[in-house]
Structure 1
């Protein structure tokens, strides 16, 4: 029953955002840019009794995924502006997202020590 409640609440949120987007595209885009899925996930994790350390790790994962998601949206926007089919545009965006995450991981592994040095005082 709990899983069904999560699905229904999440679907209602998505439905409301798409209806607002249909009537007011600019406002809908701004609302959709809110991290609704992330916030709903954090709420569901909390309600399910997850430890704050796990919720914190989840939030950090979302933060690290944000640049790739922004890149995905730029690619989709540019592709659609160049009259590329919507689903192909989304495919290009997803491919770019994955590539961005892969490069980001390589970058982080390579520069991990110097990045840690920036944030941790010895």
Structure 2
């Protein structure tokens, strides 16, 4: 039952943000940049009685993923600005995200940082 409720609530949030973005692109972007997925995930993890330590590890994972996500969005923006089709722009963004995470992980391992 939790899964069904989570899907409905999450879909509603995405639908609302998309509608706002359709009418007001700048405000939609700002709202989409809010950590809605992270907050919803923390709420669902809490409702499902996950430990505080588990939720803290999840939060660290979100923090670790932020730089790569920002880079991905930048690549998508630059690709679209260069008139690259949206499908290819997103593809470039996803590839850049994966490469960024790989480089980030390699740098962390050089400095013996566990991520």
**Normalising by structure 2, what TM-score?**
0.96
Structure showing greater Rg: 1
Hey, what does 1:117 align to over in structure 2?
Answer: none
Q: Which has the higher contact order (CA 8 A, sep 6+)?
A: 2
- Tell me the distance in 2 between the aligned counterparts of 1:74 and 1:112: 29
Measure how far apart 1:51 and its partner are.
0.1
Residues 9-47 of structure 1: CA distance to partner in whole angstroms, max 9, x if unpaired? 000000000000000000000000001111111110000
Three-state SS of the structure 2 residue aligned to 1:112 is: coil
Hey, what does 2:95 align to over in structure 1?
Answer: 95
- Tell me the distance in 2 between the aligned counterparts of 1:43 and 1:112: 32
**Normalising by structure 1, what TM-score?**
0.91
Alignment partner of 1:67 is 2:67: yes
**Deviation above 6 Å: which 4+ runs of structure 1?**
none
Alignment partner of 1:47 is 2:53: no
| Root mean square deviation, CA, Å | 0.8
